[in-house]
Amino acid sequence: MAFRAALAIALLAAAPASALPNCHAGHTLYAQQGVRIFDLPHPEHDPGFAPTFYHRIFGCRRAIVWRIYESSPYNRFRVYNLHRSGRRVGFLTHDVGFDNGFYTEAGWTDVATHETRVGLINAGEDGEPGDPYVPDVDRVTYAIAADGAMAVLGGAQRYAQQVALLVPRPDTRRSFRRARILADAEHGGLVQGTLAIGAKTVRWRTAAGRLVAVPRV
């Protein structure tokens, strides 16, 4: 599933410039500080299958449009929890197959360079050994470091929670290394909204008020 998502955004990067829409197209997902991110669904109808569409996510700033993400057809898909951190806008995606399977990703797009990275945080029922399974049903928050690394905290405080780290892959501008689990709290107790990431550590607070700092390496 991680490969499929990476392939989708790689294909977007290779698409011709003429395929870009204008800044006012589609459905607005985020609009702040002169940046607009929008969804422009595209119809898909393969022989033998019912008509459907896939989602194309674009960004726009100063009348310049760039591609962010493209979903798979025949799936239920959403982009959510968009917020800005410095010159990057972070987001989460959730993709559910019509028949089976789902996955959740975290990522960001740089509004200045248009670099976009996306990484798997929950591989769902079709995941493979070594894939991450950060709880994503109740709540997921994230923080973005200056170097582009992401920390993710998944799960409601009263249930199982995990903290994961996504580090940019140096050989590509589109993805992260496989998510690394920094904390696995079976009974919860990690406070959403306290997650932070710096150059060397990922930090959060527990319900008891304790500050936890874990090295990134």
Q: What is the pLDDT of residue 51?
A: 72
List the one residue out of 116, 64, 65 whose CA is nearest residue 88.
Answer: 116
User: Looking at the predicted structure, is the pLDDT value of residue 16 above 60?
Assistant: no
Q: What is the pLDDT of residue 137?
A: 78
DSSP string over 2-24: HHHHHHHHHHHHHS-GGG---TT
| Tens of pLDDT, residues 98-127 | 766 899 999 999 999 999 999 999 999 888
In angstroms, the Cα distances linking 24 to 39, 78, 87, 113, 118 are: 11, 20, 21, 21, 25
CB contact at 8 A, 108 and 150? yes
User: Looking at the predicted structure, is the pLDDT value of residue 45 above 80?
Assistant: no
- Phi, then psi, of 112 in degrees rounded to 5: -95, -45
pLDDT category, 17, cuts 50, 70, 90? very low
pLDDT category, 138, cuts 50, 70, 90? confident
User: Looking at the predicted structure, is the pLDDT value of residue 4 above 80?
Assistant: no
CA distance 83 to 64: 20
Strand order across the beta sheet in which 75-85 lies: 75-85, 88-97, 102-110, 116-122
- Average pLDDT of the chain? 89
Q: Tokens 């170097």 label which residue?
A: 147
| Tens of pLDDT, residues 158-215 | 999 999 999 999 999 899 999 999 999 999 999 999 999 999 999 999 999 999 999 9
Q: What is the pLDDT of residue 143?
A: 98
In percent, the amount of the chain with pLDDT more than 90 equals 74
Q: Tokens 């199982």 label which residue?
A: 160
Instruction: Kindly list the domain boundaries of the chain, sorted by start residue.
Output: 2-215
CA distance 15 to 19: 7
CB contact at 8 A, 79 and 40? no
What does the radius of gyration of the chain's CA atoms come to, in whole angstroms? 17
